[in-house]
Amino acid sequence: MKNFFHLVEEVFAASTMAVTLLDTRVSPFGMRVRIALEEKGVKYEYSEQDLRNKGPMLLQMNPVYKKVPVLIHNGKPICESLIAVQYIDEVWNNKPPLLPSDPYQRAQSRLWADFVDNKVCVCLSLLSILSFGICFYLVDSEIICC
């Protein structure tokens, strides 16, 4: 019985720790993380980032790639959207998992996530250039404004 109460305390502590998301509204990768946080019912602080003028928090929390999204949980950064989604699923495990339990269905879910990354985002980038004269392009899955 003691182990059960210890587990409940750990889950409660993890769910009440400070969570911040460094992101920009136009990022489909950030949207993936926002959806995961909402699905799991995680309260978080949203911090809009200017990708043309990257602030010190973004540069400190993601010094390698210097891009969004960055999930910050209890002061620790988790970079890259798919890694952040997996982290959210593992830490806030008091709600149903984000991916199906069946291996084939999980593989299909990952296929569609890859399709969005490699096809839909590229098309959105091209449409923004053609339709609005706005220059967006992808570099290693990061949307860059020019």
CATH of the domain at 67: 3.40.30.10
Predicted local confidence at residue 58, as pLDDT? 97
| pLDDT tens per residue, range 94-120 | 999 999 999 999 999 999 888 877 777
The predicted pLDDT at position 16 comes to 53
Any idea how long the chain is? 146
The verdict on 89 and 33 lying in the same domain is yes
Host domain of residue 135: 101-146
Domain count, the chain: 2
Q: Is the pTM of this model over 0.95?
A: no
User: For residue 80, how many other CB atoms are within 10 A of its CB?
Assistant: 19
Q: What DSSP string runs through 13-72?
A: HHHHS-EEEEE-TT-HHHHHHHHHHHHHT---EEEE--TTS--HHHHHH-TTT--S-EEE
Shared domain for 119 and 73, answered yes or no, is: no
Query: Taking 50 as the threshold, does the pLDDT of residue 11 lie above it?
Result: no
Same domain as 139, residue 85: no
* Same domain flag for 13 and 46: yes
pLDDT tens sequence across 32-81: 999 999 999 999 999 999 988 999 999 999 999 999 999 999 999 999 99
